[in-house]
Structure 1
Amino acid sequence: MRWWCPSSLVHLLRCVLLRSCPRRRGCRLPLWFTKRRAYLKLLLQSLLYNSLTDSDVVFDSLFEPMFWTVDYLTRWFGMVFVFLVVLLTSSILVIAYVVLLPLVLNTYSPPWIAWHLCYGHWNLIMIAFHYYKATKTSPGYPPVEKNDIPFVSVCKKCVTPKPARTHHCGICNRCILKMDHHCPWLNNCVGHFNHRYFFSFCLFMTLGCLYCSISGRNLFMDAYNALEHFKHLEMEKPGIPVTGMGPLIGLLPTGQTDYLTPAPPYTFKEKMINKSIIYMWVLTSTVAVALGALTTWHALLISRGETSIEKHTNSKEKCRMAKMGQVYKNPFNYGRLHNWKVFFGVEKKSHWVTRVLLPSAHSPLGDGLTWDVFPLKKDQMSV
């Protein structure tokens, strides 16, 4: 960045004063006014001049109020999003325990009952554990007091050293170690120390929604047909008694329906049960598709040893080096399997069960400040 030096300012001021002199230009303005105007013009140019100014800087400056507004609203609505996650998940659990569980116990065989109880509660524990840890665990921040930490740049907003893979979060208003993104549904940044919790929550929530969607499909069809059937009877056949014969009663001659025994009325409780099943299936199916796409995207990034931010920066770096005839290689990519080992903190074979398939609060490998080329030992590479 190049700024005006004092000698250049004096020289420019003299040039401006000479060009604006009333004797040479025939201007009748007072000399003191011309000097003041020239001085203010020079002052404005010295404040705004920057050799690095380009269209991106101007664009960022113009849209800075909008960016600030979005960050502020996201920060303020963080607890609202967390409340929505808890509320929607709790509503599905209430329907599962109140409506579905009695049906399972009365209609399914003992092996299927054991499967649904074991898998459902295991999935629920994994979702609750990882969501709680993702929201409550700090993503990791660069130390402020230590001056000997390795850094690759200086944050222009915090004016503090930035280690590798560290980025500034405008919502949290501080730098985050190995920042992936700021998640409003967690009301927290996703960084080095809670990235695993975030991905595991997305994974098990997707699996849970798929489980509810697939296992509840037949119940959804029955509930939907029941609502449509009784809606049709109420609109098209008012006053006709509803019996076990269903729509066939409309085919009987007039006067021959008196001997039929009416079935129990379609009560409010039955309507609510059917609507609850429809609500559960639609919500879980929608979340399974949306969250499944997000989980797949993050799984691809983890396989490449990248974060969401690094995906964009690495793409730009690849294009830049390709123009120079060079090939860019991600320094944090250790291979697919080893990337997953580093991400989940797997150091031996048993950790795939105790640290991945079971709730585990172990810390990730490394401190987030330094990144080795091969963080795993040679004897661990063969695990």
Structure 2
Amino acid sequence: MTTKTSGYIREAYVAPLDHSFTLPDNTLVRSTESDGLIQVYLKSSSEPVVSFEPHSRSLRTSPHGIVNNDRAVSSPAVLLKASQLSLDDFWAALYAFWVRQSEKEVIPLILDIPNADEILTYLTSTGLAFTPPDSQTRFELLLIRASFWQGAGAPVKRHWLQTLVPHPSVSTTPFPFFQSFTRGEHVLTTHPLRPPKPAPGSVIYSRFIFTVNEHLRFIHIDANNPTHFETYARWQNSDRVNVGWRERGPDEKHRKYLADRLADPHIMGFIVEWNDEPAGYGEMSWVKEDPMGTYVGGLGDYDQGTHLLIGEEKFRGRQRFTAVMTSMKHACFLRDPRTEVVVGEPRADLPIVPRLIAYLPQELNREFEFPHKRAVYFTLRRERFFQAAMLD
């Protein structure tokens, strides 16, 4: 059998001329667009807090030092105008801006704002923007879309990843490296010590999904929460889910499975919610100490993997499936900047495999054998994800 290994086409979201969404802290963001002018309103304000205006100045947007001069591309700049603006609100305004400019990788920006020095330092020190060689003043910058979606400069309360480790109030560095070790039935490996998981019931990830106009959240599953446990058990016992997961059984089996997941530092299960309504169950794992690391080999210290089931029929469909899968990968890349690859290993005979090829910018590496199944090995690389994933 020949398996199709490519076919992904990014479907850009086109925001309406008057567009609203909410941030993870429930702040309302509204933007309007007319003749290239983008204005952003926050918290039901009647006056825009930020305007992005077309400007006559152009800056080179093709990579400096890479693209030959005869191929170089320049793009017109956008003038940022605002009164004194907090960094939190500026990030929210950038969010609204990038939703409308999602087809571009970099955009020239000129600052015209009373606290321009503060905004300049914020943009360049977080990596949200840089000063290119052809700028005429230090307030001419190139905004980077991929940096924004990697969470650069995001306020803690508005960050899509709601349980940052270490917490930024304690440290701004990644969780430190210390060698650890796992020995199990299918695993024998050294790996970095993993950070503690958030308490069961904690919000892991939160993002407004524009294509369905609803808020998506991942909640660390709490087996002591009747809603969590009962919905999880019902999903696993359904005929459709059991085809892929094969975890059907009595409550005792489900409680043991969730207890084992909670006790295992390398994996975390979570409830998928749409507008606070349970929709499915997913898992994120560090794959160096996962059975996949044993049977595939070559995985890095910080590479991760995901699993997903959508339990509720009403929450199936291409747009929701793509949003949940993309958000799981997004959460993995956000929770450790050293993660270069997020992998997947669905059973090779599942009908979902072609959709995973079509809906995510990942590579089908090969098929391989687990003791319990023949699987497809998918790899999704960080650079490719933030270049092409359907995050808007």
TM-score for both structures, normalised by structure 1: 0.24
Between Structure 1 and Structure 2, the one with more strand by share is 2
The structure with the largest alpha-carbon Rg is: 1
